[in-house]
Amino acid sequence: MFIIDNVKTSLRSMRSNKLRTILTVLGIMIGIAGIIIVYSAGEGIRALLLSQMESFGTNIVQTEIKVPTSKKGSAGDTQSSVALASGVQVTTLNINDLEDIKKIDNVGNGYAAIMTQEKISYESEARKAIIFGVGSEYLSVDKSKIAEGSFFNEEDDKALAQVVVLGSKMKDKLFGNSDAIGKYVSFHNAKFKVIGIMAKKGAVMSMDFDDFVYVPVRTLQKKILGVDYVSYMVHNLIDNSRSADTAEQIRFLLRENHNISDPSRDDFRVSSMDDMMDMLDTVMSVLTWLLLAIVVISLLVGGVGILNIMYVVVSERTSEIGLRKAVGATYGDIMIQFLVESAMISLLGALVGVAFGVFLSWLIYLGANAAGFDWVFKVPAKAFVVSILFSLICGIFFGVYPARKAAAMDPVEALRKE
């Protein structure tokens, strides 16, 4: 009953000074709305990145080049560290590794890939393009599709055939509405026959695959780049529940192929979809906490507003405080009275802020979807819990000092003030 009476008293005080209460609530509201938006946007970004990752398939394992860790302790090692810092290209990952990995019992299809950039032309049209060298099993592993014509096969790859498959955007840039199948495009002082057009895939992890030019990986290696290595390889798994064990098998195999005895000297990195998901969760968690730290600053500003308003409230009700103490109110009674009032103000700000934050999150969802992003509208339960807890802690923390000042008043001195 004591707490209920204090709540009623706080509500009467807030109603009697509506404008002052509204301005104080606004400070808390902005901070709480920020918390809701951070959590909701985090869910949206996570879903967006997840959908893009899943466009490659959920049962894949990727092997990519990695600059090995340089050991310290000798002059030669120091020179090696300098060389690595200045930029070095790992050239040990090759198609033989790809074929060896395919022999692992839980590995299905796979392809190797390497990229470069060239100026590609057809008649008077010319565009800068990413030339994407991939193996013939690219479609089955990455779940991509052909819209027209066909994709190159294993025989084309081994024969170093000069054929290309155009991304949908690149086809439109070079040929417009004209038919491209059977025509020849030029790049690197050579002609390549267009045998297919990829179906639209869109941008994935900041790379627009619709703007790529696909060629057989061996053709790109031997006829354009003059190399025998690749940048990365992707394999699909037969049983995805064994992804961790299969990734470890791949590491063991590649260490044997590359004569590596010390795992810290690996010149490759093997990642399963589970590893990528763990990395995504870690990044999103760090990003969320970073943004929350920024939002808390605005919440502290709102807390300072509560501190100021409670000082004013205590000053205005000095005689009331004196009267209550004169009739037996204790130090704790006065403390609780004003702490409840500051908590009520912050709680009201939290409720308004939550509603406002949810509304803004919904607008962000609509805008993102209108822009073509695969965004979801979701506010996790922990966002509401964190919002309420933060607001109450803020209200109580900034209300303590004015409440103590009120509780410590001398009743005789307080009653003398009008």
Closest CA to 132 of 50, 55, 204: 204
What confidence score (pLDDT) does residue 304 get?
83
Pair 406, 257 in one domain: no
Pair 82, 198 in one domain: yes
Gap between the Cα atoms of 116 and 132, Å rounded = 7
Pair 255, 284 in one domain: no
Contacts of 366 (CB under 8 A, 6+ apart): none
Gap between the Cα atoms of 148 and 290, Å rounded = 46
Q: Please report, for residues 3, 92, 316, the alpha-carbon distance to residue 313 in angstroms, rounded to integers and kept in the order given.
A: 19, 74, 5
Give the domain range for residue 389.
Answer: 2-53+278-416
Pair 198, 225 in one domain: yes
**Position 215 in a domain:** yes
**Position 108 in a domain:** yes
**Position 60 in a domain:** no
What confidence score (pLDDT) does residue 75 get?
40
What confidence score (pLDDT) does residue 249 get?
93
Q: Which of 231, 266, 301 is the last residue of a domain?
A: 266
Pair 23, 72 in one domain: no
**Position 95 in a domain:** yes
Q: Which of 243, 266, 289 is the last residue of a domain?
A: 266
What confidence score (pLDDT) does residue 83 get?
37
**Position 298 in a domain:** yes
Pair 344, 381 in one domain: yes
What confidence score (pLDDT) does residue 10 get?
63
Pair 372, 324 in one domain: yes
**Position 370 in a domain:** yes
The series of mean pLDDT values per 10 residues for the chain, 418 residues long, is: 62 69 82 89 82 69 82 42 48 91 91 93 90 93 89 94 94 91 93 94 76 95 92 90 89 92 88 77 81 80 81 77 79 81 85 93 90 84 89 86 82 69
Pair 43, 166 in one domain: no
Phi first, then psi, for residue 322 (nearest 5°) are -60, -40
Q: What is the CA radius of gyration of the chain?
A: 33
Q: Which of 266, 294, 313 is the last residue of a domain?
A: 266
Pair 27, 82 in one domain: no
Q: Please report, for residues 113, 139, 165, 344, the alpha-carbon distance to residue 232 in angstroms, rounded to integers and kept in the order given.
A: 6, 16, 20, 58
What confidence score (pLDDT) does residue 84 get?
40
Pair 170, 73 in one domain: yes
**Position 273 in a domain:** no
**Position 58 in a domain:** no
What confidence score (pLDDT) does residue 244 get?
87
- On the 0-12 / 13-18 / 19+ scale of CB atoms within 10 A, 234 is buried
Look at the chain and report how many structural domains it folds into.
Answer: 2
Pair 188, 292 in one domain: no
Pair 282, 383 in one domain: yes
